[in-house]
Amino acid sequence: MQRQHRNVVVLSACQATLQTGGVTLVAITGLTGVAIAPDKAWATVPLTSYVIGSAITTIPASLLMKSIGRRAGFQTGTTIGMVGAGVCSAAVWLADFWLLCFGMLLMGAYTAFGKYYRFAAADVAEPSFRAKAISLTLAGGIIGGFVAPEMAKRTKDIFTDHVFLGSYLSLIGVCVVAALLLAFLQIPQLSEQEKKQGGRPLKEIMRQPVFIVAALAGALSYGIMNLFMTSTPLAMHAHHHHFNSAAFVLEWHVVGMYGPSFFTGSLIQRFGVLKIILTGIALLMLSVVCALAGTAVINFWFALFILGVGWNFMYVGGSALLTECHTPAERAKTQAANDFMVFCTMAISSLSSGLLMHASGWNAVSYGTIPFLLLALGATLWLMLLRRGGNPGVSPAAPRVKAAQQRS
């Protein structure tokens, strides 16, 4: 097995553990917040802390991995995850809302490291395999879609006086599994010359139309998806649906998110990355329609499943597009800038979800996504027009970037 394929297998398995933790946290933390928050309107503040932890760690994590390598960096992240899960467990035991927020901040830091799995797979992939490497790495998340809801259901009542304590404790074991898997990762560090070379200024890289569209595709798809996903357990609880029904909906949402990854890379190669991003936008719009159609379990199921597929097309497409606009020396800061934007958008959407749900209900969450979908649509069509006009939509340094990528 070639090294690029072996690394994809390892990173896909790590993605499975990352998504298991993420879905579990989404399924249980909003409800935990409702139980112990000083004000129920703050129920999603711990989830917002989770996203803030990711946002503030994104840039340091990328720079650390540039210095010490991907494997050591990822193992640092899993250690932080073990500590964070332990702090969340203590918060539930003590019914301490602000300690839960701190624990979720640490879990967000762990997630920030893990979100680079997709880029790590692309680092050592041949140019023709990069979109598939990103897509197949993310495909591992489908396992989390099945494991996490079941794990949450089976562990939430282990400690009868402390609901969800067992669920948080189980996440320590999930992080341990990830640490063991990472021992098999083989990604060479940058050379000393590449570490010293900073490449173009970040402002120049970020001015490229291709970067703008890639970042918008990633940030807006994640922000919209997070807005819906964070609100769903609360909305279903408000409409008197059982926790197991919410877990079922989230399970299939994650299947929608990661199932298409087995073929998204091939679709990008066949139809082009911008058409796949546009398809993702159309699916997210359809998800909004399903959400507005009613509040039965089947409505939540359709809306969240289609939401997952749309997210996949936009997010994988944006990640693949991002690899077109940087050299190996520029990789760390470009990826950090992109993911920082993603997590900042997620932080805003996570906080907004609780406020919108408390103040205006589920329909307000749905309507709130429409302007951002229109923004993503406009930006993607703009880049398509640039490319059809003979402009590749990248900076004048594009030939140098492409040649450097092919040598890496």
For the chain, the farthest-separated pair of C-alpha atoms sits apart, in whole angstroms, at 65
Q: Per-residue pLDDT averaged across 65-74, rounded?
A: 92
The candidate with the shortest Cα–Cα distance to 224, out of 122, 318, 113, 297, is: 318
Q: What is the 3-state secondary structure of 285-308?
A: HHHHHHHHCCCCHHHHHHHHHHHH
Its pTM stands at 0.78
Q: What integer pLDDT is reported at residue 9 of this predicted model?
A: 94
Does residue 240 have a pLDDT over 80?
A: yes
Residue type, 194: E
Give me the torsion for CA of 328, 56, 71, 13, rounded to 10°.
-110
- Termini Cα distance of the chain: 20
Instruction: Choose the most confident range, by mean pLDDT, from 33-47, 191-205, 229-243, 273-287.
Output: 273-287
Q: 196 falls in which pLDDT band (50, 70, 90)?
A: low
Tell me the Ramachandran region of residue 390: left when phi exceeds 0, alpha when psi lies from -120 to 50, beta otherwise. Answer: left
Q: 401 falls in which pLDDT band (50, 70, 90)?
A: very low
Distance CA 232, CA 370 (A): 18
Residue type, 26: V
Q: Per-residue pLDDT averaged across 377-386, rounded?
A: 94
pLDDT in tens, 252-279: 888 898 889 999 999 999 999 999 999 9
Distance of CA 11 to the CA centre of its chain: 15
Distance of CA 110 to the CA centre of its chain: 12
The residue extents of the domains of the chain are 3-182+194-407
Q: 391 falls in which pLDDT band (50, 70, 90)?
A: low
The set of long-range contacts for 122-128, using a CB threshold of 8 Å and a minimum separation of 24, is 122/319, 122/323, 123/70, 123/187, 123/328, 123/331, 123/408, 124/3, 124/4, 124/7, 124/187, 124/188, 125/4, 125/8, 126/4, 127/405, 127/406, 128/269
Does residue 74 have a pLDDT over 80?
A: yes
Distance CA 157, CA 160 (A): 5
Q: What integer pLDDT is reported at residue 193 of this predicted model?
A: 65
Distance CA 306, CA 285 (A): 9
Q: What integer pLDDT is reported at residue 405 of this predicted model?
A: 46
Say if residues 53 and 102 touch (Cβ distance below 8 Å). Answer: no
Does residue 190 have a pLDDT over 70?
A: no
Has domain 3-182+194-407 been given CATH number 1.20.1250.20?
A: yes
Q: How much of the chain exceeds pLDDT 70, in percent? A: 92
Could you tell me the two tokens for 264? 């998204």
Q: Higher-confidence residue: 72 or 343? A: 72
Residue 267, H or E segment? helix 261-271
